[in-house]
Amino acid sequence: MTPSKNVWEAYRRSYGSQYSAIVRAPGRVNIIGEHTDYNGFPVLPIAIDRGITIAFEPTSEPVFEARNMNNCFSTRTFSIEEIAHQYPQGDWGNYLKAALRGLIDAGMISTIAMRGFRGMVHGTIPPSSGLSSSSALIVAFALCTLHANDARFDKRELAEILAKAEKYAGIEGGGMDQAISLLAEKDHALRIDFFPLRTKLVSIPPGWVFIVCDSLVQASKTESSRAAYNRRAVECRLATALLNKSMTAETGVKIEAERLSDLNHEQLGMTYDQYMTFGRLHLGSSSWSLYKIARSLGLDERETEERYCTVTDGSIFTQPEDGYMLFKRFKHVIDEAQRVDDAIKALESGDMKTLGSLMDASHASCRNLYCISSVELDELVIIGKSNGSYGSRLTGAGFGGCTIHLIQEEKSNTFISQVLNAFYTAKRIHAFEQSTGEEFRVDDAVFSCKPEMGAMIEKLDRRGLSSISSVVEGGG
């Protein structure tokens, strides 16, 4: 990430003293592999040149203070005794508390003789754009805390801890966002596998960029899209439970898969086509009521909800009015996982045409089977494709947020101006400004990105800022 302009000056002006270190944590775009992470299948994101920068200074008391260069975010100050008291839902102070609670739960820091910090925060990811600003914030806060307490850690372990910690901020998610923010490498996408977390670098051929286009429909994970995200996670768990039952009956061997990824069709001795036929037969193509699912599982409705419909904050996700869509979700996840493998092969052989087609197919599946697209995202995809994009798709959770478009770098400026003309009408900009109270900024709406480095800590000494890799270490 490029240094966030003026955050150190802002720190000095605000606190009247010198900061001692800077933390940067990037946001991400996911090239392919959408809603696969919590199902145990891989994802393929890159870190981007936008994220969170914090200039900070450890304090001797366990008191935490975050000021923000953006006036929309009021200063948050609290002591360690107050971490369990949430700010209102969606408040940015909850991310700091969530990071701390995650570190304490995991024993990475101790509440005895704990040091706090005070910091000035600058964010360059448009909020609720689906580029992972909340995970970048949690990662950045965690790194400030670890640095303030001289704690050594393993980045991979930290990614897993912080993925769990997000529940304290009321956010639902798999493990992709924290992992890419911490583990990304320049010029590479990262294949991330889960349960346990594993990574593999995949190099992106030079001369290609991903253009991000914001649909201007906010995709806040803590508000409107939360229920829609949870619903998909619940549907996948219910599909897994029903498949366990029918496969056990079919094979005579007790199958107890926890996630869809535990049900590999090859291990089950089926071809892909046989697996899909089996899935269609046992998950149906229409929607399912809770009653029908419970009956098929041999459970009562309450038990079924408790086992499969409990979401990370402990509440029960109640049956949607239109019922659960199990086969569609199942097929998306299985096909999308295969597309991740195919996309990696395409990248390894420099076949960007195939990568583009896989991205297009991923979008179609997100739209038709996982049902996470929107009119605006679909329109951006059509605009992208008709202006020379090799592959266009929504990125992240969906329900708003951004699309990405695979473009040759030399054509990126032309592409950007074409999309700006075609999508960002005065009416749309006005509606965005009215609903968010924010000023529309062209550079935040459409921009080009290449894979960037993951999070880092830089310490200020007499020679200036130097990164301290000995503290941000581990992984491998």
Residues near ligand GLA (CB under 6 A): 30, 34-35, 37-38, 173-174, 176-177, 396-397
Q: Residue 114 CB, nearest distance to ligand GLA (Å)?
A: 28
Q: How far is the CB of 236 from ligand GLA (least distance, A)?
A: 11
First to last CA, the chain: 21
Asked about 177 being catalytic, the answer comes back as yes
Pick the closer one to ligand GLA by CB: 176 or 255.
Answer: 176
CB of 468 to ligand GLA, least distance (A): 28
Beta-bridge mates of residue 57: 118
CB 399 within 8 A of CB 219: yes
Least gap, CB of 174 to ligand GLA (angstroms): 3
The position carrying tokens 């509606």 is 431
Residue 244 or 395: the one with the smaller Cβ distance to ligand GLA is 395
State which residue, 11 or 141, has the beta carbon closest to ligand GLA: 141
Supply the minimum distance, in Å, between the C-beta of residue 436 and ligand GLA: 20
Q: How many CA atoms lie within 13 A of 272 on its CB side?
A: 5
Structure tokens at 461: 């000494």
CB closest to ligand GLA, residue no: 173
Contact 217, 128 (CB under 8 A): no
Per-residue CA distances from 367 to 90, 150, 376, 381 (Å): 27, 46, 12, 11
Please say which residue, 238 or 457, places its beta carbon nearer to ligand GLA.
238
Rounded to a whole number of angstroms, the minimum distance from the CB of residue 365 to ligand GLA is: 12
Closer residue to ligand GLA in complex, CB, 145/178: 178
CB of 45 to ligand GLA, least distance (A): 9
Among 128, 212, 136, residue whose Cα is nearest residue 445: 212
Shortest reach from residue 138's CB to ligand GLA, in Å? 11
CA distance 156 to 163: 11
Helix H or strand E segment including 284: none
- Of 35 and 50, CB closest to ligand GLA: 35
The tokens describing 280, both together, are: 């269609």
Comparison of 174 and 356: residue with beta carbon closer to ligand GLA: 174
CA distance 162 to 165: 5
- The angle formed by the CA atoms of residues 264, 357 and 232, to the nearest 5 degrees, is 50
Q: Give least dist CB 35 to ligand GLA, A.
A: 5
**C-beta closer to ligand GLA: residue 30 or 149:** 30
Long-range CB contact pairs, 88-91, < 8 A, 24+: 89/170, 89/222, 89/223, 90/170, 90/220, 90/222, 90/223
Q: Say if residues 139 and 86 touch (Cβ distance below 8 Å).
A: no
Alpha carbon distances (Å) from 50 to 26, 456, 466: 6, 13, 20
Active-site pick, 49, 91, 150, 177 = 177
Integer Cα distance of 62 and 116 in angstroms: 4
Residues 6+ apart with CB under 8 A from 115: 58, 59, 60, 61, 62, 148, 149
Tell how strand 63-68 and strand 21-32 pair up: unpaired
Which of residues 86 and 312 has its CB atom nearest to ligand GLA in the complex? 312
Q: How far is CA 118 from CA 17, 75, 319, in A?
A: 11, 10, 44
Collapsing DSSP to helix, strand or coil, 18 comes out as: coil
Question: CB within 8 A of 10, min separation 6: which ones?
Answer: 55, 69, 120, 122
- The catalytic residues are 177
